[in-house]
């Protein structure tokens, strides 16, 4: 049997058998376990939150928007592979009164509304569709009043009765109603239209923009995708995640100090064993490796326990209603499922840097005390 693995096995077992060395070893083990668990869970929640926000944006907002004259021929753009649908839209701000309550809304002209108008409207009133949130707040009302406080084409405020045709799948960042693009209730200026583009793969929006610009170079400066529109939000989230990650890494640093002191105390406890090994002809390198591996094993046990708990917690949070134990009602926050995701990228980054710190914290004292200075350590006078 190999000397190093034989002694590592013996020393590792004796650490947990011996009362005086068991407690410091357990403190090291658990501090690493807690650090790994905390940093991974927090980063996975942050990543899950970003994904949820991203999905919300992709669900509710167009992936690309561009502005073009009313009669522009855009049929060629439909031939682009990544484009799913192009919608014309016009928009302004107005106000609505429901149950005598007044609120400001965004009014958007959409082509989809025309279809609903033909199918459902028996009242001969112009049809509108409310955004999802607005619809669920006022689902009992079928007619509402709309005020247009400052329309582009009219000098005075108009009041229009409308028929609520249903709810849109989209929700807006401010309450909004969708109206028929063709008629636009005669309140919207349609000389210039916005085009909302939905993509098959929204993550390739920048490539699609390039393709659109190669077909219609005059759109330069008038086209924007969801990434650029929300770049500030994503940058802030990235910054938040990065700074949290940095601060949480201090936990690993702190736990590595316990590992450092544990290694030092083990070296001093085993001083006579070290002297014996050297006197029997063991090399400094062999002794260094024995202590390095033994203490690394303690740290690795902590790391593995942390990883197992992280995987288990992530699985439970994704697949069960565990979070409700904490009395957190997710529907209140308007999200489906707890925002957590097992990110392999983060898992590897955190593992790599944690293990690097752990190895460093164990290597430093072993090299320092058992390297060139080993004779000073084991000298009988010391």
Partner 1 sequence: MIEIKNLVKNYDNTSIKYSDYKIEKGDFVSIIGPSGSGKSTLIDLIVNFITYSSGNIYIFDKEISQYRRKEKNILMKRLGIMSSNSLLLSDLTVIENIKLPQLIHKNQIEESHMSYLINKLNIENLLLKYPMSLSTGQRQRVLLARAMILKPDILIADEPTSNLDSENTNNLIKCLVNLNHELKTTIIVATHDKVVSNASKRIFQLR
- 53, 95, 275, 318: residue in contact with partner 1 (rule CB under 8 A): 275
- Residue 27 vs 275, nearer CB to partner 1: 275
The neighbouring-strand residues paired with 178 are: 108, 129
| Contact window for partner 1 (CB under 8 A) among 41-49, 65-73, 176-184, 274-282 | 274-282
Please report whether residue 22 would count as binding partner 1 according to CB under 8 A: no
Q: How far apart are CA 24 and CA 92, in angstroms?
A: 67
Minimum CB separation of residue 15 from partner 1 in Å reads 9
| Contact window for partner 1 (CB under 8 A) among 3-11, 100-108, 213-221, 304-312 | 3-11
The interaxial angle of helices 19-60 and 284-319, nearest 10 deg, is 40
Cα angle for residues 58, 61, 67 (degrees, 5° grid): 130
Cα 245 → chain centroid: 13
Residues 224-263 that bind partner 1 (CB under 8 A): none
The neighbouring-strand residues paired with 180 are: 110
Please report whether residue 170 would count as binding partner 1 according to CB under 8 A: no
Q: How far apart are CA 266 and CA 112, in angstroms?
A: 74
- Contact present, 30 and 326 (Cβ < 8 Å): no
Please report whether residue 6 would count as binding partner 1 according to CB under 8 A: yes
Minimum CB separation of residue 370 from partner 1 in Å reads 15
Please report whether residue 297 would count as binding partner 1 according to CB under 8 A: no
- 69, 217, 221, 281: residue in contact with partner 1 (rule CB under 8 A): 281
Q: Binding string, 341-380, against partner 1, x = CB under 8 A?
A: ----------------------------------x--xxx
- 207, 282, 330, 359: residue in contact with partner 1 (rule CB under 8 A): 282
Sequential DSSP letters for 11-49 = HHHHHHHSHHHHHHHHHHHHHHHHHHHHHHHHHHHHHHH
Q: Binding string, 84-123, against partner 1, x = CB under 8 A?
A: ----------------------------------------
Q: How far is CA 293 from CA 6, 13, 210, 218, 287, in A?
A: 11, 13, 55, 66, 10
Please report whether residue 13 would count as binding partner 1 according to CB under 8 A: yes
Q: How far apart are CA 225 and CA 244, in angstroms?
A: 29
Residue numbers at the binding site for partner 1 (CB under 8 A): 1-3, 6, 10-11, 13-14, 272-273, 275-283, 286, 375, 378-380
């Amino acid at each position: 049997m190999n000397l190093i693995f034989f002694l590592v096995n013996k020393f590792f077992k004796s650490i947990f058998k011996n009362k005086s060395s068991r407690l410091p070893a357990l403190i090291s083990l658990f501090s690493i376990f807690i650090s790994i668990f905390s940093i991974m869970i927090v980063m996975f929640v942050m990543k899950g939150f970003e994904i949820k926000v991203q999905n919300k944006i992709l669900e509710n907002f167009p992936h690309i928007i561009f502005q073009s004259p009313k009669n522009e021929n855009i049929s060629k753009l439909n031939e682009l592979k990544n484009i799913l649908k192009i919608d014309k839209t016009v928009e302004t701000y107005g106000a609505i009164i429901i149950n005598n309550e007044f609120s400001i809304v965004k009014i958007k002209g959409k082509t989809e509304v025309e279809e609903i108008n033909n199918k459902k409207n028996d009242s001969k009133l112009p049809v509108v569709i409310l955004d999802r949130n607005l619809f669920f707040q006022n689902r009992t009302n079928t007619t509402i009043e709309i005020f247009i406080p400052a329309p582009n084409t009219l000098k005075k405020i108009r009041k229009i009765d409308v028929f609520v045709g249903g709810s849109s799948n989209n929700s807006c960042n401010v309450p909004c109603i969708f109206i028929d693009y063709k008629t636009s209730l005669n309140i919207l200026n349609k000389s210039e239209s916005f085009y909302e583009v939905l993509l098959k793969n929204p993550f390739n929006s920048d490539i699609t923009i390039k393709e659109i610009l190669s077909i219609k170079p005059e759109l330069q400066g008038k086209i924007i995708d969801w990434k650029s529109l929300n770049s500030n939000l994503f940058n802030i989230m990235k910054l938040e995640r990065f700074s949290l990650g940095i601060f949480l890494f201090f936990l690993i640093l702190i736990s590595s100090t316990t590992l450092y002191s544990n290694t030092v105390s083990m070296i001093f406890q085993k001083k006579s064993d070290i002297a014996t090994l050297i006197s029997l002809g063991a090399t400094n390198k062999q002794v260094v490796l024995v202590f390095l591996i033994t203490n690394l094993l303690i740290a690795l046990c902590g790391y593995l326990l942390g990883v197992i708990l992280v995987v288990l917690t992530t699985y439970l949070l994704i697949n069960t209603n565990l979070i409700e134990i904490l009395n957190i009602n997710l529907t209140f926050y308007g999200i489906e499922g707890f925002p957590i995701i097992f990110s392999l990228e983060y898992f590897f980054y955190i593992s790599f840097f944690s293990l690097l710190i752990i190895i460093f914290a164990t290597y430093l004292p072993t090299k320092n005390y058992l390297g060139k200075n080993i004779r000073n350590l084991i000298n009988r006078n010391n």
